[in-house]
Amino acid sequence: MKRHLLILAGLMAIVSCKGLSEVPFTKLDHYFFKSGQDIPANPKIDTEEEFTTLFGFASVMGESGQPTPVDWAREYVIAVVNPVTDQATELTPVSLSPKDGELVFTYNEAVGEKQSWTMQPVLLVKVDRIDEYETVRLVKRVAH
């Protein structure tokens, strides 16, 4: 009997933690935010048409120089776009998890030295539509 209670308690712990689990994502490489576009108010991008209006391809030489593909039938994109700056800025993903009926995307922002040129920091990740939520909330952590 004691053994059955332990097993039941373990299963209940696993089931209750399932809602707190991380959602898998893949970082997109080799894209840039198009000049003249407004920074999107909603970080969730559902369609290829919306995405190509906002972002362009930035292919580079080499084996891994092509933009990361997105299968729009199975995936959507979460976009973090900062304003244009003359400071070296790096955005890196930390986590993606459900909380209170929305998806929370946490990322780090590291701001470095002033540069002689400007840049527009962008962080893009793709998420499987199985883990789709209507609302995506961005949480920025300032990295030091």
| Predicted confidence (pLDDT) per residue in 40-93, tens digit | 999 999 999 999 999 999 878 877 788 999 999 999 999 999 999 999 999 999
The one-letter code for the residue type at 85 is T
Secondary structure string (H, E, C) spanning 97-126: EEECCEEEEEEEEEEEEEEEEEECCEEEEE
The answer to whether 55 and 94 have CB atoms below 8 angstroms apart is no
| pLDDT for position 65 | 82
Region 34-45 average pLDDT: 95
| pLDDT for position 56 | 95
Tell me the pLDDT tens digit for each residue of 8-33.
444 444 444 444 589 999 999 999 99
pLDDT surpasses 70 at 34: yes
| pLDDT for position 36 | 92
Question: For residue 49, what are the contacts with CB-CB under 8 A and spacing of at least 6?
Answer: none
Q: Which band of pLDDT confidence, cut at 50, 70 and 90, is reported for residue 120? A: very high
